[in-house]
Structure 1
């Protein structure tokens, strides 16, 4: 959750049902890449609280007019924006966006860990984070990303925050780039890195060796 969202949701004029509607339903739809469309029946059922002891079967329910009022609260708070509105007093089947969700600065609240998924992408903080890890060029290919996602999809027991997933991705990029820089040669069906070729002592070192030999020879002649 971004700081802007947290601040807007904490406003005392925003009702608890409106906060729940945003946090548990609208935001979830967007984060799970589901169609951002307002379905009154679906959202109404999500907000209903079941109570078998009540004659109606629910201790809390909202009708269409009340649901519209909750949307109006979120619109006034800047949390919800209706993209297309039908000629009606309601917002049923209207597409929407969450403006404050796009403000991707880090939240003061701890990020919720999640499993790797097919739609995962690093966010815009990747270049700065990569530089802190010693990676100047934070660019990557679809092959880099696909291999990373495929690897962690096979480990569903791992849950990490977005920040931790990006650190893992940066380490994977460093490993792949290091491997690409290493020259290889084929031996049978295996690729092996050749042994470093020794170039011998440098010219300066050879001159010093020759000079030492001459001095040693002069010293032997003098002793004779």
Structure 2
């Protein structure tokens, strides 16, 4: 169980709702997707009923799911509603995913490029480090250039990880190219920061005149 789950379960929800989550939804959920196993009202009714709490209908389970949704422990997709039967359906457990699982999700959800695309921050940082990208800062122009190129290829669909990977590779290729104002660092070129650089000739002249003054 994650720390976020523990914190959410301490909110003012009923013990029946906690039982539903801990014994009915959490044990058989899919860690890679975050979805629960298909809901079976009959099984869940047996789990939550005790000497002090008795429910008999699927809508009673939906009321408990409503508590879990308010606490942030459960989420429904756009086609689902607590006003309708959820029997046989899966629900999302957003807090049950560890950071590693969240990273793995970047390999799913394939999509074409769109105007508002942004690289996945954690993936960008990791990949940039792995390929030895020294200058990790990029401009709006560089991002726009990447988006514009792939907007012209709407048939191409990739996962968030792959889109970010392509962007990192494009930046690395540009850093290996020649151009000004840039400076060489190893085999790569990086953006020259604003400032004053004094070359060897200038230093010699300064030393020459300093000696004369003395």
TM tier, smaller: 0.3 to 0.5
TM-score under structure 1 normalisation? 0.39
Q: Point out the structure with max Rg over C-alpha.
A: 1
